[in-house]
Structure 1
Amino acid sequence: MAVALAMPASVQPIGRVLARLDWRADLVTHFQVPALMASIVAAVALWTLGRSRWGAAAMAGLAVIQAAALVRYDLAAPPVAPAPEEKARLKVLSANVLASNREHERLIGLVERERPDVVAVLEFDLRWQGAMGPLRDVYPYWIEIPDGTRGIGLYSRVPIGDDPAPVVVRPLGDGNPALCVSIAFGDGRLNLWVVHPPSPLGPQGRGRGRAELMALAREIASRPGPTLVVGDLNRTEGSPIFADFLRATGLRDSRPGFGRQESWPSWLPMRLPIDHAFLGPELAVVDRRLGPEIGSDHLPMLVEVAPAADSAARISATQRSRSSGSP
């Protein structure tokens, strides 16, 4: 009986151990809330039934660890503060719009209300390209890659630089495209990446998902300067591969101090946080939240960044170094 009660609670932790070896094990790592519930039920049942007090204590300890991993985003303060006298801000709206979604006006209405500096559209197909006329009228700098569920659209109020030129990266040669642009920010520029690695549920994501994500991480890390990455990562922090990606890029999660922000699937009360924003040490998060439903299976994400308090001069210094050709 004790083993039977403990087994459901053990699935997700065992998945974390095996996640780097098998994509199926990685899948179960994302279900942290059900795992926590299973641990609580097992602890209460084992204690109440008197089957195993040691087992109940072990399940309770596991539940504490699992709960701490979930609430840390609400309880922790943002680790980096914005520079108090620096007025530069960049507000980005990232939305996986679902290629089959035809409620284009809901995204356009959200953009009109929020007035972000940059809009990143994922699953950008030809129909979405045709519907984005109102954005092209307001956002003078734009890049469109209509490619079905792999497509990306980017619309910016602030200039997109030619040095370095915008680049489309396909990890492993044939992976989902990722877009990088150098965008004006304060007295300098920052690297803005829009990413959408393949779903682990699809044929391309199975087996090679970690290799493709790590190839993308190496591309991101290879471009010097302040960096902001937004998009649908198709992974949660429950997976050790998520931590591998952050270590390889040298970036940090934008959520501490703003909550876990579960974004998919939008119609369920218990969702997974797979829409993300990551940033380098030169940047601080001013605001980070999810938007309303737009007809997609994802909720849109809004993130606003500013120069960090202890590195406000780095962005302009980096830009001056590039302009002068200094190493």
Structure 2
Amino acid sequence: MNFRKIGYYIVIAISVLVILASLLSLFYNLPYWYSKLLDFPRVQYLILGIIFLIIFLIMTRKWNWPASLLALGLVSAILIQSIKIFPYWFGEKTVPDAAQNYPEENAVSVLLANVLIENKKAGKFLEVAKDTDADIMIVMEVNDWWLDALETLKDDYEFVVEQPNDEAYGMAIYSRLAFKNVQKKYIKHKNVPSYHINVELESGKEFMLHAVHPVAPMPSDKYPDNVGDAEIELVRVGEMVAAESLPAMVAGDFNDVSWSNTSRLFEEDGELNNVRLGRGLFNTFDANSSFLRWPLDHYFVSKEFQLVEIKLLDKIGSDHFPIYAKFVID
């Protein structure tokens, strides 16, 4: 048995898959739910493309036109993913860094946590919440069990809104900063709430917080999904932001990566900036995998915001890492 030949064919097969996935990921609004998922693992495509290009170059002994075409395809796949991903590592920061002597009364820190509805390790989350001591916490996938487990947070957080449900789209928001006005909306699905809140900083300045958790693109027999439909919730929120006069932050588990077409349209419509650009990916999902990870939990902010700090937090038993960011409003 010629193991080298078998290995070579395996390299070719995987290379073809990487090339096809990279090319198909460029097409938006295809009528297949799995086509949306091709947009997620761009870092993985990039890594596999580089590895298998190197292996292919080493193993190829005869350079005919099919071999050259495959090598060119791998180079193209690497370029496609680099164009999408590199701005997060090496690009310009669209949200500027805050000055070291920023006024604390104009600052706001926000913790995002998708706790996973089946997760029963509430103690781990409460430890993270205590350690970070954020001004606002947006907690997603809460049901009645989770709200009971988080009841002690109300001792430290005066302003609270809660909407539990058993369909993995419940939401609770805990804040030390005053809520001047609270709107709860069901933009697309009757059991998927979003909150739109006028928040007052210690200085008296105000901003609009839009806390969202759009549904996942994958089919589900148990929970709401977007199969067969275009994702409109983020686009609608972008339109809301565009119509507002206050500084705005949109935050939550988007169930989408920030380089997707939907996120791009939402960013443009609302004139919002992606905190990750120029700083890194800060992959929040999947906390249970070392390789298949991508950023699903996001902060998008208007031009008045500057960033003090952003960091991933420790595992809490969920499939998402919590993420924390602190901002100053100019």
TM-score over 0.5 for the pair: yes
How far apart are 1:35 and its partner, in Å?
1.4
Cross-structure match for 1:123:
141
How far apart are 1:151 and its partner, in Å?
0.9
Cross-structure match for 1:297:
319
Distance in 1 of aligned mates of 2:263 and 2:152: 36
Cross-structure match for 1:33:
43
Greater shift after overlay, 297-306 or 181-190?
181-190
* RMSD, aligned α-carbons: 2.3
Q: Superposition pairs for residues 230-309 of structure 1, below 5 Å?
A: 230-270=251-291, 271-307=293-329
How far apart are 1:242 and its partner, in Å?
2.2
| CA deviation vs aligned residue, 1:276-317 (integer Å, no higher than 9, x gap) | 11101110111111110111111001011112xxxx2xxxxx
Cross-structure match for 2:19:
10
Give the alignment partner of residue 210 of structure 2, picking from 180, 185, 193: 193
Cross-structure match for 1:170:
186
How far apart are 1:44 and its partner, in Å?
2.9
1:17 counterpart letter in structure 2:
L
Distance in 1 of aligned mates of 2:297 and 2:230: 17
Distance in 1 of aligned mates of 2:189 and 2:51: 46
How far apart are 1:54 and its partner, in Å?
5.4
How far apart are 1:102 and its partner, in Å?
1.3
Cross-structure match for 1:142:
160
1:59 aligns with 2:74: yes
Partner SS, residue 199 of structure 1: coil
2:134 counterpart letter in structure 1:
P
Distance in 2 of aligned mates of 1:65 and 1:261: 21
1:275 counterpart letter in structure 2:
D
Distance in 2 of aligned mates of 1:20 and 1:175: 24
| CA deviation vs aligned residue, 1:244-272 (integer Å, no higher than 9, x gap) | 22112221111124310111121110212
How far apart are 1:3 and its partner, in Å?
7.8
1:8, 1:35 within 8 Å by CA — same for their partners in 2? no
Greater shift after overlay, 54-63 or 122-131?
54-63
Runs of 5+ consecutive residues of structure 1 not aligned to the other structure: 313-327
Cross-structure match for 1:97:
115
Runs of 5+ consecutive residues of structure 2 not aligned to the other structure: 1-8
Partner SS, residue 26 of structure 2: helix
More helix as a share of residues: 1
Partner SS, residue 17 of structure 1: coil
Distance in 2 of aligned mates of 1:9 and 1:55: 11
1:140 counterpart letter in structure 2:
E
1:13 counterpart letter in structure 2:
S
Distance in 2 of aligned mates of 1:99 and 1:58: 42
Greater shift after overlay, 217-226 or 279-288?
217-226
Distance in 2 of aligned mates of 1:171 and 1:218: 12
1:255 counterpart letter in structure 2:
R
Distance in 2 of aligned mates of 1:199 and 1:206: 9
Length-normalised TM-score, structure 2: 0.84
| CA deviation vs aligned residue, 1:76-131 (integer Å, no higher than 9, x gap) | 45332335654121111010001121111111111111111011110111011111
Greater shift after overlay, 251-260 or 276-285?
251-260
1:31, 1:238 within 8 Å by CA — same for their partners in 2? no
| CA deviation vs aligned residue, 1:206-251 (integer Å, no higher than 9, x gap) | 1224234323332343333111111100011342222122112221
How far apart are 1:46 and its partner, in Å?
4.6
2:164, 2:172 within 8 Å by CA — same for their partners in 1? yes
Query: In the superposition, relative to structure 1, how do residues 12 and 287 fare at CA in structure 2: closer, same or farther (>3 Å)?
Result: farther
How far apart are 1:28 and its partner, in Å?
1.2
